[in-house]
Structure 1
Amino acid sequence: MDADGNGYLDEGDFEALTARWVGLRGWEPGSADYERMRAIMMGWWSAVAALSGAERADRVSLDELMNVVDQLPAMDDAVYATADAMFDAIDENGDDRIALTEHKQVVYAWKGSSDGIEEVFPQLDLNGDGQLSRSEFRDLWADFWRGNDPAAPSQWVFGRY
């Protein structure tokens, strides 16, 4: 997520994340989809900045970001709302399922690379049907951000790290 590689997250990194997302879908400024995605991403920047205990208001270190992650178990509504928005953005063809090709796009949007997704997607697809349902994705997303089991399939939501 650190788009400029300066070792911190800042507002510009969340603007870049938003730009990658809306660019994948061709959503133009002013469209409902663009504004929804921008509001979610920039809302997360505001939350991260406010909840992190950052020494500086304009940037957040990895340790400070982890302070926010530690608070996510008490933020069900925000975590699930983001999961639903991400699902809607990922589900390009609107079939209420996320296929491998669509999941590669989400990983690219978040990380700037989708390398290795072919190998980890089967770990995410717990029922083996070749796609992720909204329910599966919500659970994986929530457990990625709030879980603490390094062996859980949810740890691969963004691919290898």
Structure 2
Amino acid sequence: MSSDFQRRKVAGVFNAMDVDGDGFLTEGDFRALTDRWTAIRGWAPGTEGHEKLTGVMMGWWQALLAASDRNRDGKVSLDEVLLVVDELPGRPETVGATADAMFDAVDENGDGEISAAEYRQAIEAWTGRTTDTDHIFPILDGNGDGHLSREEFVVLWTEFWAGDDQGAAGSLVFGWVAAH
């Protein structure tokens, strides 16, 4: 069973992704989130970047729906997500695969690193508002080299989704909104 901390951090992400605020995640929410993110990047439909990001986000929706939609109503509640989160510590390959896909989405220029600017852009896409991440990124960037490698991101993503340590840097991977 999810701890209060896990529930809070997952609820923060869930609420940011629930674009229409109806208490459920739906394909429409993921499309709206994808549209926000591609608009921030200035990518029009049909461009390579737009198609790649849309593929990642809609693929994540399909994976979430398949794993979480226990009553098969085509939408996912917070409680359904939390049931899956409870299983994630025993499924590191699933968490790692999702982290890889999200890394590719956040790494806008495809250089194999997530910069502070790319991280900020991702958080602003998730939250739908301008967000100061200047204090968070250095915490995530544990080795202080100015970027997140794929390996670092997988660890952070795993700490967020499969972890329960409030002091873990990964608890901030979605910014302050999910950690507090």
User: Fold match, TM over 0.5?
Assistant: yes
Query: What letter is aligned with 1:13?
Result: D
Taking the aligned partners of 2:92 and 2:44, their CA distance within structure 1 comes to 30
The structure, 1 or 2, with the larger RCO (C-alpha pairs under 8 Å, 6+ apart) is: 2
Aligned CA-pair RMSD: 2.3
Q: How many residues align?
A: 161
Query: Does 2:157 correspond to 1:141?
Result: yes
Q: Which residue of 2 aligns with 1:124?
A: 140
The offset of 1:32, in angstroms, is: 4.5
Percent of residue pairs bearing the same amino acid type: 52
Q: Please list every run of 5 or more consecutive structure 1 residues that lacks an aligned counterpart in the other structure.
A: none
SS at match of 1:117: coil
CA contact (8 A) 2:99 2:153 kept: yes
TM-score (norm. length: structure 1): 0.83
Q: Which residue of 2 aligns with 1:63?
A: 79
Cα distance change of structure 1 residues 42 and 92 upon mapping to structure 2, 3 Å threshold: closer
Gaps of at least 5 residues in structure 2 are: 1-16
Distance, in Å, in 2 between the alignment partners of 1:80 and 1:28 is: 29
Partner of 2:168: 152
Which among 84, 87, 92 is matched to residue 103 of structure 2? Answer: 87
1:10 partner amino acid? T
Matched to 1:140, the amino acid is L
Given residue 125 of structure 2, which amino acid in structure 1 is its aligned partner? A
